[in-house]
Amino acid sequence: MSVKAAKWVFWLGTLSSLVLFLVLTVDTHSQFAVLTHTDKLDDTVVAGKRAFQNHNCNDCHTILGFGGYYAPDLTRAYSRLGEDSIRRRLEHPEVAFADSYRKMPRQNLTKPEIDTITAYLQWVSNIENHDWPPQDSSTRWRRSTERMLAAAALSPAAALVEQESCLNCHALGDRGEKKGPRLEYIGTRHNAAWIADYLADPQKLAPGAEMPDYQHLSAGQREMIGEFIAALGAARGGAR
Amino acid sequence: MTHRSQSIAYPYFVVALLLFGLQVVLGLWLATQYFVTVPQSIVDVFPFSTARAMHTNLLVLWLLLGFMGATYYLVPEETGTDIAFPRLAIVQLVLLSLTGVAALVGFLFGWTQGRPLLEIPMPLDFLVVIGALMFLFNVAVTLFRANRWTAVQGALLGGLVFLALLYLIGIPFYRNLAVDWYYWWWVIHLWVEGAFELVAASMTAFLLIKLTGVERKVVEKWLYVELGLFLFTGIAGTGHHYYWLGAPEYWLWVGGIFSALEPFPILLMVVDTWRDVKHRTQPMLPRLTWVYLVGGVIIHFVGAGLFGMAHTLPQVNYYTHGSQVTVSHGHLAFFGAYALLNLTFFYLAVPRLKGIKDGVYDERGGHAGFWLMSLGVIGMSLAFAVAGVLQSYLERYQGQPYMVAQQPIRLWMAIAAAHGVLVVAGVFVTIWHLLTLKAAPPASARIVAGPASAS
């Protein structure tokens, strides 16, 4: 190869790649509004982003998969944990993670900071990013719904979940609300006995939680619900 | 050393080395937190996030100071003139060092911009920009006055200007998180796979010319080809970071295809180095410098090329993105591509700056430093890789919650930390060796029979 040819390789390679990159950048910008729902990106959300940065959350947690790998990804934290659980973690991490082998530093957040960070995480959870991360993939959640609907006919526990309106606060599959953690998430973290105990007296196991107690159910019914939710966890997994 | 003003490089190297030492100590502390439960009282005062901000910013700062020192050493020899304003170069070093110290102390007290790797708060950003402008001004005036252009200088100046411009993009606050990350990668990716590669390729070419004595024309010709391929794959390859941040789907194609090609320019660099070493006209002395040169190129290829390739395709990255797999790749790639390159340059320049005859220094101790460091980083990266594969399978594929899936990973993080101890030991030996470099004892000096070193 001559020096002249080598110079051609340099300029052609660099410029062709640069032109492609810049053209796609312009096009990407024109699509961000739709993909990230900028109509919902109001000042509260932006204030949440500022608070999130001020407390350097991103050097322990990843968000959209970027940042520190020391703590769970926050892209879909809102649809996984729900609003109440997020607030509890932000207010008193030393209580929420008292039993954890990894701690979260106390942030001493103000009430408005907690409000805006929660709003920010809600906005982030709706970014359309090809269904990443896989552990919170909505395709997966949809399959959970199908399983529950299939089980409801056979399982009195599924009927109890419906009867007690658990989904007025919790998500299950693509149904339910995002106030408490989604039931699949609880199922992967806790066994049936723990869940039954929790239903009897939530304050004992999670002080400050907004979850009501289910003393009006029999111990046997609470155990059935526990088994149902624990089974949701075991049934997860597999590809997208 | 052929010019007096080259001696400016030495204080740059000293500061860079000290920061490097602090960086690896913090790294060891970070790894420890993955397998030991740190009590709440310590976490509240010195959380993982603060230590991580320090670890990464120290890396960036010491590499940049190393590059800048190398530039001040290289430019006079390439142009045949002294640096235009030697005093300004010292002022610049003091300014950047103080800014760095202010940033590190600031992190301890929660003064941060809160964006990974770009945590430095905005007022300090402006000091960095002033430092960078002093540097570019000094180098540019020197080059234009001399008006003797070589490809090595062109690539170096181009890379440095590119680097400084990209830094500006990282300064503002972005309202939209997706847009924020989009441009965050213009700094991070286009630095390490663009501007840094230009600087590194230019420094490597200079090292090859000086060490092997191979004809400049040959080295520079391949420098053009390498750079063309680096930038062709690297610029559009930024797309491999745009898969999951809320950008259009075509980035899966663009990122996947271009980054699949990214190992080739690095492979070419390995082949070029190998060929030049084979055709050397100078003796392989001191041996340690050559060990660094060749070792760096090989680990660069494995860490950046192969480990990067392993998780760059969207089908794989869907499961590995943001896991310890990234950590594994990041450590080996940075170590091979930039840490070892800087150290290789220090081993070329420091003996000459100290006036050691023919640059033949006493190698004892240096080899131990190299092998402790390199084997430590390789072992650490392999342990991170196992942890990352476990995490991808348990958390991402099976759907276990994060903390449940982290439990079996703790063992592998402990293994990584054990290798980290080797790294810290190796880095300290290397720093000590470089800062106390002496002429080789007469016995080994007698072996120098061939043509003396060029500078």
Is A199 within a domain? yes
Final residue before a domain boundary, out of A113, A133, A153: A133
Query: In whole angstroms, how far apart are CA B247 and each of A32, A33, A172, B385?
Result: 7, 10, 28, 28
Question: What pLDDT was estimated at residue B340?
Answer: 97
Comparing CA positions, the residue from A175, A67, A69, A170 lying closest to residue A124 is: A67
Locate B103 and state its tokens. 């940033």
Statement to judge: residues A155 and A226 lie in one domain: yes
Inter-chain touch B47–A6, beta carbons under 8 Å: no
Instruction: Check whether B107 has a pLDDT greater than 70.
Output: yes
Residue of B nearest to A23 (CA): B236
Statement to judge: residues A80 and A156 lie in one domain: no
Does residue A230 sit at the B interface (CB-CB below 8 Å)?
no
Taking the C-alpha atoms of residue A153 and residue A78, their distance in angstroms, rounded to an integer, is 30
Final residue before a domain boundary, out of A115, A133, A151: A133
Between residues 170 and 199 of chain B, which touch chain A (CB distance below 8 Å)? 173, 175-179, 181-182, 184
Q: How many CB pairs under 8 A join A and B?
A: 239
Q: What is the Cα Rg of chain A in Å?
A: 23
Is A200 within a domain? yes
Q: Output phi, psi for A171, to 5 deg.
A: -95, 150
Residues in chain A closer than 8 A to B331 (CB atoms): none
Least confident segment among A162-171, B136-145, B162-171, B417-426: A162-171
- The verdict on whether omega for the bond into residue B286 sits within 30 degrees of 0, i.e. cis, is yes
Statement to judge: residues A27 and A67 lie in one domain: no
Confidence of residue B451 (pLDDT cuts 50, 70, 90): very low
Locate A62 and state its tokens. 């990843």
Residues in chain B closer than 8 A to A50 (CB atoms): 173
Statement to judge: residues A44 and A127 lie in one domain: yes
Please tell me the distance in Å from B399's CA to the nearest CA on chain A: 5
For residue A157, the Cα-to-chain-centroid distance in whole angstroms is: 25
Does residue B50 sit at the A interface (CB-CB below 8 Å)?
yes
Residues in chain A closer than 8 A to B221 (CB atoms): 1-3, 6
Contact A185, A232 (CB under 8 A): no
Query: In whole angstroms, how far apart are CA B173 and each of A66, A69, B127, B170?
Result: 17, 23, 18, 8
Inter-chain touch B400–A105, beta carbons under 8 Å: no
Quote the DSSP letter at residue B255: H
Quote the DSSP letter at residue A213: P
Is A216 within a domain? yes
Q: Which residue has the higher pLDDT, B161 or A159?
A: B161
Question: What pLDDT was estimated at residue A152?
Answer: 67
Contact B431, B21 (CB under 8 A): yes
Confidence of residue B443 (pLDDT cuts 50, 70, 90): low
User: Per-residue b/e over B244-263, b at no fewer than 16 CB within 10 Å?
Assistant: bbbbbeebbebbbebbeebb
Query: In whole angstroms, how far apart are CA A141 and each of A166, A235, B283?
Result: 16, 11, 66
Contact B242, B185 (CB under 8 A): yes
- The verdict on whether omega for the bond into residue A133 sits within 30 degrees of 0, i.e. cis, is yes
3 state DSSP class of B204: helix
Statement to judge: residues A25 and A42 lie in one domain: no
**Domain of A166?**
137-234
Statement to judge: residues A158 and A215 lie in one domain: yes
Locate B85 and state its tokens. 């304003």
Mutate to test the interface with A, among B49, B58, B254 (most CBs of A within 10 A): B49
Final residue before a domain boundary, out of A133, A155, A185: A133
Quote the DSSP letter at residue B281: S
Instruction: Check whether A233 has a pLDDT greater than 60.
Output: yes
How many other β-carbons are positioned within 10 Å of the β-carbon of residue B230?
A: 28
Confidence check on the interface: ipTM exceeds 0.90, yes or no: yes
Nearest to A17 among B43, B235, B397 (CB): B235
Statement to judge: residues A14 and A62 lie in one domain: no
Is A194 within a domain? yes
Nearest to A68 among B38, B48, B248 (CB): B48
Is A147 within a domain? yes
Residues in chain B closer than 8 A to A9 (CB atoms): 224-225, 228-229
Question: What pLDDT was estimated at residue B449?
Answer: 45
Inter-chain touch B402–A24, beta carbons under 8 Å: no
Locate B95 and state its tokens. 């300014």
Nearest to B399 among A50, A72, A140 (CB): A140
Does residue A128 sit at the B interface (CB-CB below 8 Å)?
yes
Is A90 within a domain? yes
Contact A130, B252 (CB under 8 A): yes
Between residues 111 and 150 of chain B, which touch chain A (CB distance below 8 Å)? 112-116, 119
Question: What pLDDT was estimated at residue A236?
Answer: 55
Instruction: Check whether B453 has a pLDDT greater than 70.
Output: no
pTM as predicted: 0.91
Nearest to A9 among B44, B228, B327 (CB): B228
Inter-chain touch A59–B322, beta carbons under 8 Å: no
Nearest to A62 among B112, B233, B322 (CB): B322
Statement to judge: residues A156 and A82 lie in one domain: no
Is A239 within a domain? no
Average pLDDT of the segment spanning B237-241: 97
CATH code for the domain of A182:
1.10.760.10
Percentage with pLDDT > 70 across chain B: 97
**Partners of residue A172 on adjacent β-strands:** A175
Statement to judge: residues A42 and A129 lie in one domain: yes
How many other β-carbons are positioned within 10 Å of the β-carbon of residue B162?
A: 18
Question: What pLDDT was estimated at residue B441?
Answer: 84
Statement to judge: residues A49 and A120 lie in one domain: yes
Instruction: Check whether A232 has a pLDDT greater than 90.
Output: no
Inter-chain touch A135–B399, beta carbons under 8 Å: yes
Inter-chain touch B232–A59, beta carbons under 8 Å: no
Is A240 within a domain? no
pLDDT in tens, A112-159: 999 999 999 999 999 999 999 998 888 888 877 777 777 766 788 888
Statement to judge: residues A204 and A223 lie in one domain: yes
Q: If you average pLDDT over every residue of chain B, what do you get? A: 94
Sequence-distant (6+) residues with CB within 8 A of B128 are B96, B99, B120, B167
Question: What pLDDT was estimated at residue B48?
Answer: 98
Taking the C-alpha atoms of residue B303 and residue B381, their distance in angstroms, rounded to an integer, is 9
Does residue A35 sit at the B interface (CB-CB below 8 Å)?
yes
Sequence-distant (6+) residues with CB within 8 A of B42 are none
Inter-chain touch B52–A17, beta carbons under 8 Å: no
Taking the C-alpha atoms of residue A184 and residue A174, their distance in angstroms, rounded to an integer, is 11
Taking the C-alpha atoms of residue B331 and residue B378, their distance in angstroms, rounded to an integer, is 9
pLDDT in tens, A73-100: 999 999 999 999 999 999 999 999 999 9
Mutate to test the interface with B, among A29, A135, A142 (most CBs of B within 10 A): A135
Between residues 54 and 83 of chain A, which touch chain B (CB distance below 8 Å)? 54-60, 62-73
Average pLDDT of the segment spanning B127-146: 96
Sequence-distant (6+) residues with CB within 8 A of B109 are none
Taking the C-alpha atoms of residue B83 and residue B16, their distance in angstroms, rounded to an integer, is 20
Residues in chain A closer than 8 A to B258 (CB atoms): 17
Number of domains in chain A: 3
Statement to judge: residues A147 and A214 lie in one domain: yes
Contact B412, B383 (CB under 8 A): yes
Residues present in chain B in total = 455
